[in-house]
Structure 1
């Protein structure tokens, strides 16, 4: 790494120019007497002691007892952690300050700028805006998920990265989502295994993503009109509150896609997937296709599951499976 790039890295961690120059000099000369480091660094006498003390305080350099003492850089792990945490705290304070200033502006002058409460995003800007929204989530994402889909590069990666950051994801899938070729295996199941809370309804009222309590993305995809490239970004307002209430009501009415516990002995993954699809209302041919089996084999497996659960029909089987934590 060049001195310029290393100096920029130190600046981003919160060190001022003088401390960064001294640290670079230490890397070139150390171990060396403190006076020699001061002379080679080019930092003037009035500023050098305080700048070097910054390196000592942050755990990047050894502490001298006198000017003639030999000094050197020390292993930086602890110091870098301290700097990174301090920098993160400063960024968070700045984020809160800017957000609070804008909220104050919106409260005081909302009437003059009410057009900004709903933004229309179209065309090629839709995909990047969706990805930025997922990356910005801090606490939770609530979503209605259904075809048609905006073409994105590896959307599963974005969802898994968000879950890995500790963001709660609650998704209500439509039956069409489960039936869409490859969607269950390539997108839904990996996210559920990673901790996503998923439920299913026969249909969802709108394609929707709610980011924290900050804003909502509403797709205007209309399959019949072949419109797939328009989206609304809704800021906190009466419409936003209505979208949140719509999601929560639908969430309460939806069928859980996977329970948190399983019956002792559990189920083979294929049988669990069969029950998920069945609970979601998927047709027999769709279930058979997703499982890679014939309809005849599907019927045999359904009969086996019904017998295992003591169910006389599919409805009773779904109820019993949910009671046992298999859904």
Structure 2
């Protein structure tokens, strides 16, 4: 640890004298400042520790500018700090990327009245229809990709009927869904009927939560159809609602054009950087964000150019240093 308290008034006076008189000996500095010679030697030692003095060829000392001393003294510490910040950001992104896997695995834990497995598209439709009819207060939907790209959740007729009963409906899409014709049409229809519709760059899971007491989580097409689980475990539901509310708070109105100014990244670029820092390839990033691999390649290339990075690792280091991964 650097001890900058060593830079006392005497040391500063000696430093100024050696800057003004580069060839001065310790005796001459002592006479110039009217200081005892041992104090001059002690100050020289303190300044050398801080790299403000370096040995001169004639067994004396040469003064170094504070900028140069800073580069010499702090370069290694700054490099270690950058690596640490990059590692922390990568770890955070990696853990966040596991949210979907956690919800999947946690929801599969069986227990009396806790989790129900649903197999097949018709069975899934029947479950959703029953829950839509029985809900009384809220429906919260998280749709990571465009409507129709996965299991048939949610469904517009059911949403319109729920809204007509005065139920509050909140639906979150990924921003990529704004360019999906069916998704955009669906969002406009339920919004007109009174639903609250927002979008965010990246969503971790596909789910429906009814009245905060039961959730449907599609797991993607299985061997026998569109598999899902129905969860009634209060602990899991609490996690799901916290996850939804966190994303809802930072989401923007569906269809709103992202306002991006200054030198920092847009929300989409930030999401790409975080997944890059987690070691994800372009194809995986494209699938999670919901855009084409070609679009991700263009975004990555543009980010590396803005960061003047020669590699993805270097781009992560510089993005972390700029605070872009926070």
The TM tier, using the shorter chain, reads 0.3 to 0.5
Q: TM-score, normalised by structure 2?
A: 0.41
Larger of the two Rg values belongs to structure: 2
Q: TM-score if structure 1 supplies the norm length?
A: 0.41
Ranked by relative contact order (alpha carbons within 8 Å, sequence separation 6 or more), the top structure is: 2
